[in-house]
Amino acid sequence: EPHTLPETMTAVRAHRTGGPDVLTPETVPVPSPGEGEALIRVAATGVNFIETYQRSGAYPVEFPAVLGTEASGVVVALGPGDHAVSVGDRVTTASARGAYAEYCLAPSSHLIPVPDGLELELACAASLQGLTAHYLITSVARVEPGQWVLVHAGAGGVGQVAIQLLARLGARVISTASTPEKRELASAAGAEHSIGYEGFADTVRTLTDGRGVSAVLDGVGRATFDDSLRSLDRRGTLALFGAASGPVPPVDPQALNKAGSVTLCRPSLPDFLADPEERRWRAEEVFGPLATGELRVEYSAYPLAEAAAAHTALEGRATTGKTVLTP
């Protein structure tokens, strides 16, 4: 049925860098889609570390800024040009602009259809972290059945999905997490061993009979990097995909030699979604099992206007699973 677009909407805007309190709900015009763009009525917005970096000034953005690149919702208008989607389609995307809002824009070529029967909120909760876990396992670490893999922050958004996908593949998972409750979640997701961060490289050696793991998925960064290298088996892969504890200082290539001819990759999601065929494949492998309940994604939802509280929780290490905002 036709959707009458309002002229204004609520968006969470920041006018300067700072703490979570710079994120304030304001009334702003509903944006109109440009060439190749879709306007989406937002059902859920994903909260990601990148927005905390943009808000604090670690990653520069132009102010005033409506942050947010991840959203699910319904297409309500299309800009000029050809589109693979239609008004009324249920979609999710990790390529939105200004997603901390009731309406946001995204290139229509970067919209992923949400299968019937899959809730939009859940699809959003699973998008960015699910697709990230998928590309890390299939295309960066290229994990094979039977291999040992170390997943840091196993109760986190990427962590819980990565552990489940690895277990489905037949890999053997060791996970780190900071509290007993978080370690329970990592074990429930399928980790064979859930351990604390303290001395994890030595624990990993012991658990793997001295060999080390074939791959480490490390989104923690500075605090874990050195020991992640030390946890690898010969010719293993360190997938350094984030910096929740801060950025890793410059690395001497010789350190990779010393660690046993290992590979270091610092990947980012857009490079693994650029090809439409590849994007479809990854989406199918995440949303297929999500729709049937074989893949479970835990998330907490905050009202859009409380985006600041969501940032405080994410930065304060207080979340498990994914965090989303709902208008």
Residue 182 or 193: which CB sits closer to ligand NDP? 182
Site for ligand NDP contains 290 (CB under 6 A): no
Q: To 10 degrees, the CA torsion angle through 177, 179, 184, 189?
A: -30
Number of chain residues interacting with ligand NDP (CB under 6 A): 28
CA gap 289, 295 in Å, rounded? 5
Nearest distance from residue 131's CB to ligand NDP, in Å? 8
Q: Is 44 helix (H, G, I), strand (E, B) or coil?
A: strand
Using the minimum distance from each CB to ligand NDP, give the nearer residue, 26 or 121.
Answer: 121
Scan residues 40-69 and list those touching ligand NDP (CB under 6 A).
Answer: 48-50
Please count the residues of the chain.
327
Least Å from the CB of residue 16 to ligand NDP? 22
300, 296, 291, 324: which is closest to 115 by C-alpha?
Answer: 291
Which tokens go with 163? 């552990």
* Interacting span for ligand NDP (CB under 6 A) from 30-38, 208-216, 226-234, 262-270: 262-270
286 binds ligand NDP (CB under 6 A): no
173 lines the binding site for ligand NDP (CB under 6 A): no
Distance CA 71, CA 120 (A): 9
Q: Which of 267, 296, 305, 313 binds ligand NDP (CB under 6 A)?
A: 267
SS3 label, residue 211: coil
Q: Which stretch binds ligand NDP (CB under 6 A): 143-151, 153-161, 209-217, 281-289?
A: 153-161
Q: 217 near 151, Cβ under 8 Å? A: yes
Longest alpha-carbon distance in the chain: 64
Cα–Cα nearest to 128, from 7, 34, 35, 219: 219
Q: Quick one: 42 or 128, whose CB is closer to ligand NDP?
A: 128
Nearer to ligand NDP, 103 or 272 (CB): 272
Contact string (CB under 6 A) for ligand NDP, positions 210-229, x = contact: ---------xx--x------
CB contact set of 26 (below 8 Å; sequence gap of 6+): 10, 11, 12, 13
> What residues line the site for ligand NDP (CB under 6 A)?
48-50, 128-129, 132, 153, 155-159, 177-178, 182, 219-220, 223, 241-245, 267-269, 317, 319
